[in-house]
Amino acid sequence: MAQQGPNAPVPVPTADAHQPAPRPVREGIDLVVNDKRYRHTGDASMPLLWYLRDELRLTGAKYGCDSGECGFCTVLVDGKAVQACATKMEKLAGKRVTTVEGLADGQGNLHPVQQAWITEDATLCGYCQPGQLMAAVDLLARQKNPSDADIDKITNLCRCGSYGPIRKAIKRAAAAMKDAKA
């Protein structure tokens, strides 16, 4: 007869044949993208660009070349501009990735760089512009008051030739960010 009373063993629940067995936690690469946590459990050699576009459906970063030269895929990793096409997932454990989709503050307020781009009408076809914005954010994090020469060090290409408006937009954003801190 089964033991009764307060010291009776707690019965162990038996497996329910109708319940799916819990799945083991899969090992993977943990990273944060635009302030959300993700675990990549697929191919560790996958380029970040394809993880963003194909897995997370963040299609702001664009593909433009096979040689790491165009900059259309530029995103930030721990605040620094990188080319997502040339950055493998295996390098991103514990890193924070920011894409153009994560620039606005979530309350509907654009980043000063985005606002300056609109004011200066810097976008033509638009294809290169997510990368240009991210490169500008990276520059302004390092150079609060960038000169023309500083801006010209950004190597992102624009097939529409919007370099003049981009330069003006970066200077406008720098001024806005300075005013915001004053």
From 33, 116, 136, 158, residue interacting with ligand FES (rule: CB under 6 A): 158
47: helix, strand or coil: strand
Binding to ligand FES by residue 73, rule CB under 6 A? Answer: yes
- 125 touches ligand FES by CB under 6 A: yes
Q: Is 79 in the site for ligand FES (CB under 6 A)?
A: no
Question: In this structure, what token pair is assigned to residue 143?
Answer: 């150079």
Interatomic CA distance for residues 119 and 140, integer angstroms: 18
Burial of 76-109, coded b for 16+ CB within 10 Å and e otherwise, reads bbeeebbbbbebebeebeebebbbbbbbeeeeee
Kindly state whether residue 63 participates in binding ligand FES, applying the rule CB under 6 A.
yes
Minimum CB distance to ligand FES, residue 49 (Å): 6
- Closest separation between CB of residue 23 and ligand FES, Å? 35
Identify residue 168 by its one-letter amino acid code: K
- Interface pick for ligand FES out of 48, 129, 134, 139 (rule CB under 6 A): 129
CB of 104 to ligand FES, least distance (A): 20
Residue 61 DSSP class: S
Residue 13-52 contact track with ligand FES, rule CB under 6 A, x = bound = ----------------------------------------
The count of other CB atoms within 10 Å of the CB of residue 181 is 7
- Residue (114 or 129) nearer to ligand FES, CB: 129
Q: To which residue do tokens 């009373």 refer?
A: 5
Q: Are 91 and 155 in contact (CB under 8 A)?
A: no
Residue 33's beta-bridge partner residues? 36, 97
For ligand FES, give the closer residue by CB, 31 or 135: 135
Site for ligand FES contains 83 (CB under 6 A): yes
Sign of CA dihedral 65, 69, 70, 73: positive
Is position 154 an interface residue for ligand FES (rule: CB under 6 A)?
A: no
98 binds ligand FES (CB under 6 A): no
Write out the residues near ligand FES by the rule CB under 6 A.
Answer: 63-65, 68-73, 83, 85, 123-129, 158-160, 162
